[in-house]
Amino acid sequence: MLRFFKRNRQENIEHTRDAVQPSRERWFGRILSVLKSSKLDDAVWEELEEILISSDVGVDTSLRIIEELKDTVKEKGLESGEEVFESLKDSLVAGMEPEDGESLWMDETEVTGPYVILMVGVNGAGKTTSIAKLAHHFTQEGKKVILGAADTFRAAAAEQLEILGKQIGVDVIS
């Protein structure tokens, strides 16, 4: 069985926090250094936009975040880089919240047939491992899980998914 599943919830949280710490420090460090280094002008906004886009936030989302941040700076009269940074963090956290009345998970009362989750992302982001974690979560809830391997770029992904599927006891179609 995967070592991840043997840990308790707190160990999982700590492990995840430790694993993403270098990336978080690098990402937020770049943003904070841009905000601290100069006046909030067009060049700063463009550099922030570039950091977000290069971090796979997505063009539309990056543009929306920057526009909302500009509006917040104007409305609240924020001047220091630290204030703008805190506002950006608040905006990013708020963007992760589900809309009013929505759930991040399926509503079992509305599901009448198979429930499909499509996982997409950049190479090396941990999709295959995340799929196994979701599959394990759903099997622990008593749901029947079938995984479909469809990675056409990385041939070993299907093999990896089959190995993970065996470890957690779910069928894999490849």
Choosing from 70, 96, 122, the residue where a domain stops is 96
Model pLDDT, residue 75: 95
pLDDT class of 120 with cuts at 50, 70, 90: confident
| 90 in the same domain as 37 | yes
Helices (H) and strands (E) in the chain, counts: 7, 2
What range defines the domain where residue 150 resides?
104-174
Q: What is the mean pLDDT of the chain?
A: 82
The model's pTM: 0.54
Q: Distance (Å, rounded) from C-alpha 50 to C-alpha 62?
A: 8
What is the percentage of the chain residues whose pLDDT exceeds 90? 24
Model pLDDT, residue 156: 82
| 85 in the same domain as 110 | no
